[in-house]
Amino acid sequence: MRRDSRISPFSIDDSHGYIDFTVLRPPSRPRSFHSILLDATRDHIVLADRAHPSQPLRLEGEEVMAGGYWMVWFLYKNMPWDIARFYRPDGLWTGYYVDVLEPVRWRNDDPATLETLVDLFLDVWITPRGKVIVLDEDEFEEAVAAGHLTLDQERHARGVLRNLLTSLADDTFPPSIVRNFAPQSKSEGSSEWR
C-alpha cells in the first residue's frame, strides 16, 4: 500500500492500481482517462480521480465542481448511468453527479475489460441536502437536432433520466454503497478510503 500524492486531504490505498478507460460523447473523439482503481467486483467498479471540467460548475451561487476537486466514480454493470461523489480540495463533499450513459459493460470482475462509456449528454446534480438539478438539457437537445444521437439513443437517454428522477423522488437512488462511501482524511490517521 502506498499513498497517492495526487489526493489531498485524503489518503488512499491504491494497491488495486490504476485503470485506463475511454469516454465517448457523440460525435466527438473518445477521451482517455487514467484513474485510481479503488474496488472492482462483478457488479461495480469504483474509481478516484481529479476533476478537469471545461469550466467550474456553480449552482445556487456555490461552486460545486472545479479543477482540483476530487471525484469518486461508481460504475454499475449494465446500468445506463454512472455516479460520482465530488469533493473540494479541502475534503468537503459538494454533491453527486450522475451521467446518463449507454449501459456500462465489462467482463466478469475484470475492470481492464471496461468498454468505452458512451455519454448521452444528460446529467443530474444532487446536492448534499437532496435537491435535484438536471444539467445539460440544452446540449442534449442540440445533439438530437444535429443528428449526433440516434433515435434509439435519444429515447434511451430520456427514459433513463425519467427513471433516475423517479428513483430519486422515491429515495431509492443513489445506491447504498455510494451513499455510505466516506474517505478517511489524512488527519484521522488512516491510509485507506472507506
The verdict on residue 193 lying in a domain is no
Total domains in the chain come to 1
The verdict on residue 133 lying in a domain is yes
pTM of the model: 0.88
How big is the chain, counted in residues? 194
CATH number for 112: 2.40.380.10
The verdict on residue 1 lying in a domain is no
Which residue range(s) make up the domain with 125? 18-183
Cβ proximity of 128 and 94 under 8 Å? yes
The verdict on residue 155 lying in a domain is yes
* 62: three-class secondary structure by DSSP: strand
Structure confidence by residue, pLDDT tens digits, 100-157 = 999 999 999 999 999 999 999 999 999 999 999 999 999 999 999 999 999 999 999 9
Structure confidence by residue, pLDDT tens digits, 61-114 = 999 999 989 999 999 999 999 999 999 988 899 999 999 999 999 999 999 999
| Interacting residues of 94 by C-beta distance below 8 A, sequence separation 6+ | 62, 63, 64, 65, 69, 86, 87, 88, 128
Q: How far apart are CA 115 and CA 23, in angstroms?
A: 9
